[in-house]
Every structure is written in C-alpha cells, then in structure tokens.
Amino acid sequence: MTDFALHPRLAADSLAVTDLALCRVLLMNDSRFPWLVLVPRLAGAREIVDLPRADRLLLAEETDLAARSLRTLCPTDKLNIGAIGNIVEQLHVHIVARQRTDPAWPGVVWGFGSATPYSGAEAETRIAGLKGLLIQP
Amino acid sequence: MTDFALHPRLAADSLAVTDLALCRVLLMNDSRFPWLVLVPRLAGAREIVDLPRADRLLLAEETDLAARSLRTLCPTDKLNIGAIGNIVEQLHVHIVARQRTDPAWPGVVWGFGSATPYSGAEAETRIAGLKGLLIQP
C-alpha cells in the first residue's frame, strides 16, 4: 500500500476521521448531510469488482461498521450507500445518513447544490463521536 | 421467505431476469442505461446493516456477480452501485453500467429524466445474455 495517495479532490472536500484496516474514513465537509466516504488504501483501485476477494469482503465489513456508526451518531431515516466514481476515479464508497427533512430528500445527495462546511467545533465534535464508534473487532 | 412480495413500483419499472439464492434480479426497463436491481427476497428488509450477517455477505457476493455480469455484457466505463431506497423502502441495490457517452454522465442516473422502455426484442436479448452469465458457483 506504499503508493496510496488520497485523491486531491477527496482531500479538499473532506476531513480525515481515522484509518481502518483497509480504508481511510473521511467526513465530507458538508454539514447539510452526515456523510462518510471510505477509501481503500490500495493504489490504483477503481472498481469494487476488481478488488481481490479478501479486500472486497473487508470493504463490505468496514462499510457496515461505518454505516452503523453513522446511524448511531446521527438521526437517520434512511442510509444511502453508493460506489459511483464518475468524477473521482479513485475507489471510494459514500455512506450518507438521510432524513426526510434534509434539503435533498427524497433525491440523492450526489450533485445536489453546494456544500455547507462545518464550523471547527461542529467538525471536532462529529469526528470525535465517529472515532469512538469506528472500532474494529 | 414466504411473505416476500416485490414492491409494486419496482415491479412496474422493471423486467424480471432471474432469482439468485437470495435476490431477485430485475432489469430496469430503461434502455438509456444497462441497469440491474437486486432485491433480497426477505420480507420487510429495508437496510443492509439490519440484515443477518450471512444474508449481508450473500448480498455482497450476488452484487459482485451481477456487476461483473453486466460489465461483461455491456460496454462500461464505470460501474455505479447504490443502495438508496428513499422512495421505495423495500431493500434493493442498483447496479448501473455507465458510459462517458450516456445522457446522465457524469451525474447519477437516479432521478434523471424519464425511462425509455426497451423494445420487446431488445429486452429479450439482454435478459437472455444476463441469464447466461448470472450463474452462481
């Protein structure tokens, strides 16, 4: 994994939360939606179907952990989970805690308006909460 | 699984392809995009994180099989895979073979315009091709 580098677009749009066994966990810097992005630290990875099976299953487990953690921390009517990558090719998985009252509901968040960055204190609180939940067995 | 019934909205928007061990495989009746939907045949299922672990892992394997099959059959620049469910609550996973030349690129297909149904012959050909690839080990 020595060649892994986070895509600059993902780095610019997010705040680092923690590293799991496979994935870097990012909090999208958009206070409109509780929104995590998981990035496997595998240089050149682009499609889930092209991962070695062990990495693919570990990504599924880490997606599960991250989704449950986000739902524990934030009011959630529906989890939205997606691997898209049409704009940023580096493999990444979105996990969004949606509420019926959020501005994009019932549409998807991707491509919806412009991000509203967190204040420093808001970000710190959310990241600390996530770190306390994102514990691998 | 005796209580499972496909949501009427999914039934209306799609054509049946086959049943895998866990999921019903549907072809969205929209010739703009090669687009499968996997629906676990589990009554009341809504979120992947609430599935029993064995079902969650089987869903991951069937998603992998379906995504590889779709990419084998259709020219694909990027796979888009998503579990959203803001409108239809019944758990379902979208798998879309995207091309840089498709009408929604680089945006997502969800909520994009109106479906263009397949002709009968087009649908038959695509479904037959998918059936030949969707073989579980």
- What are the angstrom distances between the C-alpha of A62 and each of A53, A94, A114, A124, B85? 14, 12, 28, 22, 21
Chain A residues with CB under 8 Å of a chain B CB are 47-49, 56-57, 60, 64, 67-68, 71, 78-87, 89, 98, 105-108, 110-111
Map out the domains of chain B as residue ranges: 8-133
Tell me the two tokens of residue B59: 């869903």
Are B86 and A64 inside 8 Å of each other by CB? Answer: no
B60-86 average pLDDT score: 98
Q: How far apart are CA B128 and CA A101, in angstroms?
A: 42
pLDDT band at residue B36 using 50, 70 and 90 as cut-offs: very high
Rounded to two decimals, the pTM is 0.97
Are B56 and A64 inside 8 Å of each other by CB? Answer: yes
Provide, as residue numbers in chain A, all residues whose Cβ is less than 8 Å from the Cβ of B68: 49
For B68, residues 6+ apart whose C-beta sits below 8 A from its C-beta are: A49, B133
Q: How far apart are CA A29 and CA A45, in angstroms?
A: 23
| B101 to chain A: closest CA residue | A86
For B89, residues 6+ apart whose C-beta sits below 8 A from its C-beta are: A78, B7, B46
| pLDDT digits 0-9 by tens, A87-112 | 999 999 999 999 999 999 999 999 99
Determine if the peptide bond prior to A106 is cis (ω within 30°): yes
Q: What pLDDT, on the 0 to 100 scale, is given for residue A137?
A: 81
Residue A55 CA, distance from chain mean position: 17
- What are the angstrom distances between the C-alpha of A93 and each of A83, B30, B44, B94, B100? 5, 25, 25, 14, 20
- Strand-by-strand arrangement of the B14-19 sheet: A14-19, A23-28, A35-40, A93-98, A78-83, B78-83, B93-98, B35-40, B23-28, B14-19
Nearest-CB residue to A48 (from B81, B83, B87): B81
Q: Amino acid identity, residue B84?
A: I
Q: Amino acid identity, residue A92?
A: H
CA-based max dimension of chain A: 42
For A75, residues 6+ apart whose C-beta sits below 8 A from its C-beta are: A97, A99
Q: What pLDDT, on the 0 to 100 scale, is given for residue A2?
A: 61
CATH topology for A8-133?
A: HIT family, subunit A (3.30.428)
One pLDDT digit (tens) per residue for chain A, 137 residues: 469 999 999 999 999 999 999 999 999 999 999 999 999 999 999 999 999 999 999 999 999 999 999 999 999 999 999 999 999 999 999 999 999 999 999 999 999 999 999 999 999 999 999 999 999 88
Query: What is the pLDDT of chain B when averaged over all its residues?
Result: 97
Nearest to A33, CA basis, from A91, A117, A119, A92:
A117
B6-18 average pLDDT score: 98
Nearest-CB residue to B86 (from A56, A68, A98): A98
